[in-house]
Amino acid sequence: MNALSDLQATLDASRKSWVESANEPACDFPIQNLPFGIFSDGLNSTRRAGVAIGDCIVDLAALESAGLLTVPSSSAGDSVFVRDALNDFIALGRDVWRSVRIQLSKLLSRDNATLRDDAELKRRALIRQADATLHLPVQIPGYTDFYSSKEHATNVGSMFRDPKNALLPNWSEIPIGYNGRASSVVVSGTPVRRPNGQLKLPDQERPVFGACRKLDIELETGFIVGRGNALGEPIPCAEAEQNIFGMVLLNDWSARDIQQWEYVPLGPFNAKTFATTISPWIVTLDALEPFRVAQPAQEPQPLDYLRHSGEHAFDISLEVLLKPQGANEATTIARTNFRHMYWTMAQQLAHHTVSGCNTRVGDLMGSGTISGPTDDSFGSLLELTWNGKKPLPLKEGGTRAFIEDGDELTLAGWCQGDGYRVGFGTCVGEILPARQ
């Protein structure tokens, strides 16, 4: 088989794994997925690269040392898999990412006995996810957050400006974005402390200092840059996806009251910098390929540098769950889909670099809040409750206008195939009280 047919075989819906949990229809990590992450476990505290399969993690360094996985060595001569981040592996390039997925797909296939029947190696190379700790998968040199959902931008514009002019004139011409704070990006499961800041109350002449009173989520995805560009050398829109390693779920926590006071004239600052949470597994664009769909029609037609032919959206179902402290069950507060996004990832990356801005391996680009066309498909509490005016009922009683201390927010996402799903796992954060 050639490389292209090998790649297609990794996406075969009928392929099953000898890791039986990977074959369950609702499993996020079937053999068709094979997302990358960084983990450690109780027997080995070294952070290293792994791939999720069913309820397990494949230790890539263990497979490489056993001669079952071929990958170029780093410049230092050691394994790129014995790292606390995936950057060195990603920097090897798209052909290597694909090669590793193809090799793993073959090794994990039900009819391949090489690893399946090697009890000792399987013991060393296959770790239960329940016994592992997942870490931030990449070192993030830079973080940019976009504002690319037409429904979200329209809702916010209607809420705070004239509904008849909800979108500013530039919104339909360029992917709006701002440079965020990479240092405060954390992995799922990391508690998030409610921020303090300046608040301008309606009945007060001057701002006061205190804890955020309108803490919110933003349901987003993010993509990880897999190949950077040199300063002064833009990435063409038609080639941009080749520079993307994969996607994660992203929660861009937002302090709405701090943001409302500070954002004029330069945009968000402390309202966003306190934390951004991402999911630990990076799902490759190759794994998402069967779920590619057309993006929404764009009117007016974008300028030449933002044009690309073909389909550049993905059918990714997304949901948000809120679980109050002490509750037994979480309440699903929103369901939407990534396919609604007006501006594509390729257009975002092309616009980001058209000025000559350089990007680097591991850079994180947030989609912006993903909202759909219905009231229950909005990607933030700001929209779901219309700035607190229509609180949401919770499953075990009570309501929420915005997030309260002790609340746990969970984002989930998956692509539904024929008898299998390619999922992202979850992106979870619990809110701690503000510092006194």
Is 173 annotated in a binding site? The answer is: no
Tokens of 188: 């799922």
Which amino acid is present at 42?
A: G
- Alpha carbons 387 and 381: distance in angstroms, whole number: 7
Is 272 annotated in a binding site? The answer is: yes
Is 259 annotated in a binding site? The answer is: yes
Which amino acid is present at 428?
A: V
Is 360 annotated in a binding site? The answer is: no
* Peptide bond between residue 373 and the one before it cis (omega within 30 degrees of 0): no
Pairing state between β 185-187 and 276-278: parallel
Whether residue 434 contacts residue 193, with contact meaning beta carbons closer than 8 Å, is answered with yes
Which amino acid is present at 423?
A: G
Is 263 annotated in a binding site? The answer is: yes
Please classify residue 70 by burial: count the beta carbons closer than 10 Å to its beta carbon, then call 0-12 exposed, 13-18 middle and 19+ buried: exposed
Is 122 annotated in a binding site? The answer is: no
Q: Which of 135, 152, 340, 352 is catalytic?
A: 152
Is 161 annotated in a binding site? The answer is: yes
Is 289 annotated in a binding site? The answer is: no
Is 178 annotated in a binding site? The answer is: no
Give Cβ neighbours of residue 420 (< 8 Å, ≥ 6 apart): 13, 23, 25, 27, 30, 32
- Alpha carbons 159 and 201: distance in angstroms, whole number: 18
Is 64 annotated in a binding site? The answer is: no
Q: Is residue 351 among the annotated active site residues?
A: no
Is 220 annotated in a binding site? The answer is: yes
- Alpha carbons 274 and 271: distance in angstroms, whole number: 7
Tokens of 386: 């219309």
Q: Which of 76, 79, 60 is nearest to 68 (CA)?
A: 60
**Apex 123 CA angle, 117 and 129, nearest 5:** 115
SS3 293: strand
DSSP class of residue 77 equals S
Which run of H or of E encompasses 94?
A: helix 94-108
Please state the residue numbers annotated as binding site for Mg(2+): 252, 272, 276
Please state the residue numbers annotated as binding site for substrate: 147, 161, 259, 263, 369
Positions marked catalytic: 152
Please state the residue numbers annotated as binding site: 145, 147, 161, 218, 220, 252, 259, 263, 272, 276, 369
